[in-house]
Amino acid sequence: MIKITGAYRRVFERPKDFEWELVKYTDMDAPLAKTDWEIVAKSCPDTYGGDEKGQKRWRADSMLKRHQVGNELQISTGTEEMKGDRREDIPLEDVSKTLESLTALKLSFTLPASCYATMAIRELLKTSTSLDHPKTSNFSLSATLESHASAAVPAEEFGDYDEDESYGEVSKIIGSRALQNGRGMEYLIEWKDDHAPTWVPSDYIAKDVVAEYDSPWWTAAKKVDAAALERLIASDDGRDIDAVDQDGRTALLFVSGLGSEECVRILLEAGANVNHRDNSGGLTALHMAAGYVKPGVAKLLLEFGADPELEDDRKHTPLELARSILKVTPKGNPVQFARRLGLENVIKILEDAIYEYSEVEVILERRGKGVNTEYLVMWKDGEANEWVKKGMIGEDLVKDFEAGLEYAVAESILDLREGEEGKKEYLVKWTDMEEPTWEPEENVDPDLIMEFGKGQSSKVGAVVD
């Protein structure tokens, strides 16, 4: 097998800078225009009116029409010899009789590099362009190829791909960048001709050329090869650290799911986007770490600023994803024991990142159903009331609320007595009631009980003194 690098050329190309003119001519052998080679080499004397000996001369006896319309070509004929868009054939033996009426269509336009005008000539003349074809049309066409070297574009400035322009053969890829929202990739192409490096969408580049550039990167990521990743990053080859595959996944998502803390750290320190979401589910690296039960990676991602509250396309945060997996993981199965333990560790890490521990004073209201159930809670520290997911509230508080037990805020404990069956009861003063009530110990705030106990101890000490 022979591997040939390159890129496809366009079958159709729109020329630029059209100009045309219909001219009369009297000399069948005289050139009607200089070729590019003659202009560059300066090998052709001035045939536009010079009188030097031996020169061939021509003269436009009457310039009929000349027109330029942007990038559109308009052909207009004004003589009997021109019909439609081509000249009628004139037999060789009758040329001497019709010299005064011979008409030429002279075209001038610009073609991109590596393009040829022969197809345009065939379409205009409706005949072969072979040199040995017995056609006596004196057709002059000036096709100027774009000179990219003279475009005055600094080498360090790169252009974007232009669909209306044609490019030569690819030399190599010298850089990459992901499109917005991970919709695809563009590559910085170095051309074999003098065209300036250009950013080209991946769809316009031969797959083998892209693979030659990308394969080492994705192989290193999928094999969690830390040394290879470091080597590629250090090579400074213009590679986008957030390059994406066909599903919008970055290398960071792969190494996070595979659990390589070393590779995760390498990519994050190189500037990888820790909150990038893929296009096949909206998953982030933290979702990958949670779903594949990688608590160490989850903790590292959070240290680098991962947002634990970003949702995937199913509206699941990494925490909710981990909980849903734990819920369906069998209990009491020795094979699944380590998995459950890992999930519980991941959940704790994510909970610690999302929630600050605070004691609930009372549950005020409920909304939602099933896994979406939330409770409006009043905090003991006086912070504003807040809706909190069911799983983040003590089970005993939830049970009491669902059982219809009424909550009230206790101000202090006034007294202690022994109730039925020897259980302690406290006389509680409430903030919203005038009369104190006797309450069993389990219904009284432990902090208030502790304060009451300290007060009773101090009273006993004072009596002894």
Tell me the per-residue pLDDT of 282-323, one tens digit each, with 9 for 90 and over: 999 999 999 999 999 999 999 999 999 999 999 999 999 999
On whether both 141 and 20 belong to a single domain, the answer is yes
Residue 225 lies in a domain: no
Q: Are residues 20 and 142 in the same domain?
A: yes
Asked whether the whole model's pTM tops 0.85, one would answer no
* 243 found inside a domain: no
50 and 115 co-located in one domain:
yes
Indicate whether 210 belongs to any domain: no
> Which of 26-30, 59-63, 406-410 has the lowest average pLDDT?
59-63
Domain count, the chain: 4
**Interatomic CA distance for residues 208 and 367, integer angstroms:** 56
pLDDT of residue 302: 96
Q: In terms of domains, do 345 and 367 share one?
A: no
Whether residues 46 and 139 fall in one domain? yes
The residues, any chain, with a CB within 8 Å of residue 265's CB and separated by 6 or more, are: 300
**Residues in contact with 235: Cβ distance below 8 Å, sequence separation at least 6, in sequence order:** none
Q: Based on C-alpha coordinates, what's the Rg of the chain? A: 42
Quote the CA–CA distance of 101 and 93 in Å, as a whole number.
15
Among the three residues 146, 165, 186, which one is the final residue of a domain in this structure? 146
Q: Determine, yes or no, domain membership for 172.
A: no
Query: Is residue 110 domain-shared with residue 126, that is, in the same domain?
Result: yes
DSSP line for 424-444: EEEEEEETT-SS-EEEEGGGS
Phi-psi label, residue 422: left if phi above 0, alpha if psi -120 to 50, beta otherwise: left
Q: Given this model, what pLDDT does residue 340 score? A: 93
Range of the domain at 313: 248-354
Whether 124 and 86 have beta carbons less than 8 Å apart is answered as yes
What's the CA gap between 279 and 313, in Å, rounded?
9
In the block, residue with structure tokens 């519980």 = 344
Burial of 402-438, coded b for 16+ CB within 10 Å and e otherwise, reads eeeeeeeebeebeeeeeeeeeeebbbbbeeeeeebee
364-390: b (≥16 Cβ within 10 Å) or e? eeeeeeeeeebbebbeeeeeeeeebbe
What is the three-class DSSP state of 158? coil
Q: Are residues 334 and 437 in the same domain?
A: no
Q: Specify the residue for token string 């070509």.
A: 73
At 100, is the pLDDT very low, low, confident or very high (cuts 50, 70, 90)?
Answer: low
For 190-215, write each residue's pLDDT tens digit: 988 878 898 999 988 889 999 999 99
Task: Tell whether 266 is covered by a domain.
Answer: yes
The domain boundary residue, chosen from 123, 146, 169: 146
Does one domain contain both 392 and 422?
A: no
Q: Indicate the average pLDDT of the chain.
A: 75
CATH code for the domain in which residue 372 is found: 2.40.50.40
Residues 345, 392, single domain; the answer is: no
Residue 87 belongs to some domain of the structure: yes
Model pLDDT, residue 151: 31
Q: Report the pLDDT value the prediction gives residue 424, as an integer from 0 to 100.
A: 87
Least confident interval from 109-113, 173-177, 328-332, 388-392? 109-113
Report yes or no on 237 lying in a domain.
no
At 265 the pLDDT is 97
Q: Are residues 420 and 334 in the same domain?
A: no
Most confident range, picked from 52-61, 91-100, 175-184, 246-255:
246-255
Give the pLDDT score at 381. 81
Q: Which of 36-40, 154-158, 278-282 has the lowest mean pLDDT?
A: 154-158
pLDDT at 228: 96
Euclidean distance between CA atoms 296 and 278, whole angstroms = 22
Clarify whether residues 375 and 262 are in a common domain.
Answer: no
Residues 375 and 254 in one domain: no
Q: Is 456's pLDDT higher than 50?
A: yes
233 falls within a domain = no
> ∠199-220-304 over CA atoms, to 5°?
85
